[in-house]
Structure 1
Amino acid sequence: MYRFSELRCKEIINSKTGARMGFAEDVFFDLQNGKILSFSVPVATRFMGFLISRDYYMIPFEDIERIGDDVIIISSTPQRCSPKNDRGFWEKFLSWFK
């Protein structure tokens, strides 16, 4: 059994592509039965050293093949999502002048 604080220190790797997905940032679970539904992993899109993407991957808990000492292996390509109510930098910046 693992705590989430232990899981978020493990890198998530896709077994089909070998891609390094990143580290779990948040966990979603069912309040009725207490089971973990999925993890969110931020998409690391950088420009000149700055994180410019607010997108994230949703990784269903069922897609986890194995949890090792320092990595979590997943079996499928996760879905890329964007926050629906999060405005980008330029929208926020321009809204100050309205």
Structure 2
Amino acid sequence: MIKASDLRRREIVNVFDGKRLGFVSDLEIDDSEGYINAIIVPGPGKFFGLFGGDRDYIIPWEKIVKIGSDVILVEVPGTHRKSRNSKDTKS
């Protein structure tokens, strides 16, 4: 079993392009079923998830390839970002 706090200490790396996306800042949970739908990583330019741009990387749970001891490998061809103030976008 793994805790949410343990996930936050692991860096997210996209195996599709080798890009380091950052660290988990939050989880998207299906409250009716109790499953994790996605991990959320602050977008580029954000400082501790607070300052900077308003777009976060939303990485669906099924796109996680491997959770290692210090990294989480994901396979995301186009990094999917969600704006807090507008529609979903792709970078």
Q: TM-score range by the shorter chain?
A: 0.7 to 0.9
Deviations 1:1-46 (A, max 9, x none): 1100000100000001000000111101111211100011111227
Q: How many Å separate the matches in 1 of 2:12 and 2:57? A: 11
**Aligned twin of 2:55:** 55
**Bigger share in strand:** 2
**Aligned twin of 1:14:** 14
CA root-mean-square deviation: 1.5
**Aligned twin of 2:83:** 82
Number of residue pairs matched by the alignment: 81
Q: TM-score if structure 1 supplies the norm length? A: 0.76
- Matches of residues 13-52 of structure 1 in structure 2 within 5 Å? 13-45=13-45, 51-52=51-52
**Aligned twin of 1:2:** 2
**Bigger share in helix:** 1
**Aligned twin of 1:94:** none
Q: How many Å separate the matches in 2 of 1:71 and 1:3? A: 14
Deviations 1:37-59 (A, max 9, x none): 0011111227xxxx521211100
Say which SS state the counterpart of residue 62 (structure 1) adopts: helix
Partner AA of 2:31 in structure 1:
L
Structure 1 stretches of at least 4 aligned residues deviating more than 2 Å after TM superposition: none
Q: How many Å separate the matches in 2 of 1:26 and 1:43? A: 12
Unaligned segments of structure 1, at least 5 residues: 86-98
Over the matched positions of the two proteins, sequence identity in percent amounts to: 36
